[in-house]
Amino acid sequence: MTQQAPDEQTHFGFKQVNTTEKAGMVADVFHSVAAKYDVMNDFMSLGIHRLWKRFTIDCSGVRAGHKVLDLAGGTGDLAGKFARIVGPTGKVVLSDINDSMLQVGRDKLRDKGIVGNIETVQANAECLPFPDNYFDLITIAFGLRNVTDKQKALQSMFRVLKPGGRLLVLEFSKPENDNFAKLYDWYSFNILPKMGQLVANDAESYQYLAESIRMHPDQETLKGMMETAGYEQVTYHNLTGGIVALHRGFKF
Amino acid sequence: MPAEQLLTSSIEGALNKLLSLDDTAPERMAKLVDKKIIISLSELSFDLGFQFHESITVMALVRDESVIESCDCKISTDLSTLVELRDISLLTKLIKEDKLALQGDIQAAQQFANLLKELNVDWEEQLAKSTGDVIAHNAFRAANWVKSSVEQLFSTGKQVIKDGAIEEKRVAAPQILVDDFVESVFDTHAQCDNLEARIKKLEANQ
């Protein structure tokens, strides 16, 4: 494992920060929004995030008996569905670096009666605490852009994925149409922080959300990063005009 | 917006809501737990996957022949035939007519059909939960009265139009005349056949 130099810089939204500080700063954002996370997601996306997640599940090819890792799983939207699909013979690991998010997710799943085949693990995507070739499917939805070293995280996921398994990355991306992109920018930087202030009493976290989306690699760049990490047959599918893209890659 | 996911989400929401309103549904659902049924409709460009647990998960699946390996039963048909499937006894007839193709466990398909066919929701009770018993009872009594009045109106109207067309305007024939005409046609047809046979016989003798 490579050690990060303490003076190495990375982005936190539009700000440049020390790599060693980013994880803590992201953690602070999510500690702050955890309780209102689901409400805000519905409010900001008008519920469309549920359809994006459904699309991810439809593309997963997951079936009874499979082992699934839901990284940056947050409040467990994907993990809950996967737990039902893999059934009692399968296993789902809901993982997040942030314990506040994990706590909300665990409580939500328990309240829905989803227990038995689901485990929660607090882990950093850059150094996953799982054996090699272990999971049939790994998903990371709206999480990769918050990871400090994305390439390292993709490699770590590749290591724990079984040959024949697939990685699905659902993440904000670059809108295909320029006019739509301008409208989306206006919404992100003018409306989103105000919504955050109104609902979650936290405009700053939602300002970070908008900035982190702009700093995240676009569709083609992320595809290249996945190929560099070793994934094959990497494809992506734009959703809602490219606001979000689902990248899919296989390990053979 | 992913339209396919919007459709599956609506189907899933409606099915699970309906099942939750029927107290007897869990018993029928128990037979389907951990089973997966795929419905391939010719009108759609994707397959619908139904995964059963304590509720139902509906997925939009890419149309792929290999998908049969991962499910208990695959039903390939069109929307109008799917509606006919409410009557399970028609299953063999529909397969013979090539309107329906079934692969895998036929029992799973029958159990799914029964789950939906035997849905028994007490709508009056459901309404009473939010409006109270009196309002719900009166609303349903009024709705039933409207329904029977409309049915009565249609039935009367149909009879009036029928009588007017036959008796007054004489634009349609009464049933007895139609039957008589049909009988005459049959007789004429039979006589023609006889005549044709006799002519052929005479021609052969010449």
Listing DSSP states for A69-106 in one string gives EEET-TT-HHHHHHHHHH-TTSEEEEEES-HHHHHHHH
Q: Report whether A228 contacts A251 (CB < 8 A).
A: no
Nearest to B2 among A64, A88, A239 (CB): A239
Nearest to A85 among B4, B57, B60 (CB): B57
pLDDT at A30: 66
SS3 A249: strand
CB under 8 Å to A159, separation ≥6 — which residues?
A: A128, A132
Last residue of a domain, one of B72, B93, B117: B117
Give the model's confidence band at B82: pLDDT under 50 very low, under 70 low, under 90 confident, else very high.
Answer: confident
Mean pLDDT over A86-97 rounds to 92
A55–B54 CB contact, under 8 Å: no
Would residue A203 count as lying in a domain?
no
Distance, CA of B86 to CA of B77 (rounded, Å):
14
Which DSSP symbol is given to B80?
A: H
**Amino acid identity at B147:** K
Nearest to B57 among A55, A81, A88 (CB): A81
The ipTM, to two decimals, is 0.77
Nearest to B1 among A51, A63, A88 (CB): A51
* pLDDT tens digits along B3-42: 889 999 999 999 999 988 888 888 888 888 888 899 999 8
pLDDT at A22: 67
Q: Report whether A245 contacts A152 (CB < 8 A).
A: no
Number of structural domains in chain B: 2
| Torsional sign, CA B93, B97, B102, B103 | positive
The CA-atom distances, in angstroms, between A163 and each of A127, A134, A155, A159, A230 are 19, 9, 14, 10, 11
Q: Has residue A26 got a pLDDT over 60?
A: yes
**Do B22 and B97 fall into the same domain?**
yes
The CA-atom distances, in angstroms, between B126 and each of A17, A250, B28, B136 are 57, 48, 21, 9
Distance, CA of A242 to CA of B25 (rounded, Å):
41
pLDDT at B79: 86
**Do B184 and B95 fall into the same domain?**
no
Bridge partners for B74 per DSSP = B38, B103
**Do B19 and B101 fall into the same domain?**
yes
Backbone torsions φ then ψ of A10, nearest 5 degrees: -145, 175
CB under 8 Å to A29, separation ≥6 — which residues?
A: A205, A208, A209
Last residue of a domain, one of B102, B117, B132: B117
**For residue A175, how far is the Cα from the chain centroid?**
18
The better pLDDT of the pair A38, A197 is held by: A197
SS3 A121: strand
- The CATH number of whichever domain residue A46 belongs to comes to 3.40.50.150
pLDDT at A104: 85
The CA-atom distances, in angstroms, between A229 and each of A158, B2, B179 are 7, 29, 82
Last residue of a domain, one of B84, B117, B150: B117
Biggest CA–CA distance in chain B, Å, is 93
Q: Which of A192-196, B104-108, B186-190 has the lowest mean pLDDT?
A: A192-196
Q: Has residue A193 got a pLDDT over 90?
A: no
**Do B89 and B29 fall into the same domain?**
yes
Nearest partner of A136 among A92, A171, A73, A88, judged by Cα: A92
Q: Has residue B97 got a pLDDT over 60?
A: yes
Q: Has residue A1 got a pLDDT over 60?
A: no
Give the model's confidence band at A12: pLDDT under 50 very low, under 70 low, under 90 confident, else very high.
Answer: low
Boundaries of domain holding A47: 9-175+209-250
Q: Report whether A133 contacts A160 (CB < 8 A).
A: yes
A240–B1 CB contact, under 8 Å: yes
Q: Report whether A180 contacts A24 (CB < 8 A).
A: no
Number of structural domains in chain A: 1
pLDDT at A165: 94
Query: Among all residues of chain A, which has the CA nearest to that of B64?
Result: A61
* pLDDT tens digits along A61-87: 888 889 999 998 877 889 999 999 998
Q: Report whether B108 contacts B29 (CB < 8 A).
A: no
**Do B183 and B163 fall into the same domain?**
yes
B176 touching chain A per CB within 8 A:
no
* pLDDT tens digits along A163-175: 999 999 999 888 9
Distance, CA of B106 to CA of B112 (rounded, Å):
10
pLDDT at A236: 95
**Amino acid identity at A71:** L
Residues in chain B within 8 Å Cβ distance of A84: 51, 53, 55, 57
**Do B162 and B190 fall into the same domain?**
yes
Distance, CA of B73 to CA of B109 (rounded, Å):
7
Nearest partner of A164 among A82, A83, A112, A231, judged by Cα: A231
Query: Among all residues of chain A, which has the CA nearest to that of B33?
Result: A87
Nearest partner of A171 among A224, A208, A209, A124, judged by Cα: A209
Give the model's confidence band at B196: pLDDT under 50 very low, under 70 low, under 90 confident, else very high.
Answer: very high
Give the model's confidence band at A207: pLDDT under 50 very low, under 70 low, under 90 confident, else very high.
Answer: confident
**pLDDT averaged over every residue in chain A:** 85
Residue in the structure block whose two tokens are 């409606």: B14
Give the model's confidence band at B198: pLDDT under 50 very low, under 70 low, under 90 confident, else very high.
Answer: very high
- The CATH number of whichever domain residue B84 belongs to comes to 3.30.1050.10
Would residue A195 count as lying in a domain?
no
Most confident of A112-126, A188-202, A205-219: A112-126
Would residue A85 count as lying in a domain?
yes
CB under 8 Å to A62, separation ≥6 — which residues?
A: A68, A82, A85, A86, A136, A137
CB under 8 Å to A20, separation ≥6 — which residues?
A: A4, A6
**Do B12 and B102 fall into the same domain?**
yes
Boundaries of domain holding B25: 3-117
Chain B interface, mutation test: which of A51, A81, A92, most B Cβ atoms within 10 Å? A51
Q: Report whether A91 contacts A136 (CB < 8 A).
A: no
Q: Has residue B64 got a pLDDT over 70?
A: no
User: Tokens for B56?
Assistant: 């139902």
Cα dihedral A109→A110→A115→A119 (10° resolution)? 70
B53–A58 CB contact, under 8 Å: no
Which DSSP symbol is given to A191?
A: I
Query: Among all residues of chain B, which has the CA nearest to that of A87?
Result: B34
**Do B22 and B38 fall into the same domain?**
yes
Would residue A192 count as lying in a domain?
no
pLDDT at B150: 94
Would residue A229 count as lying in a domain?
yes
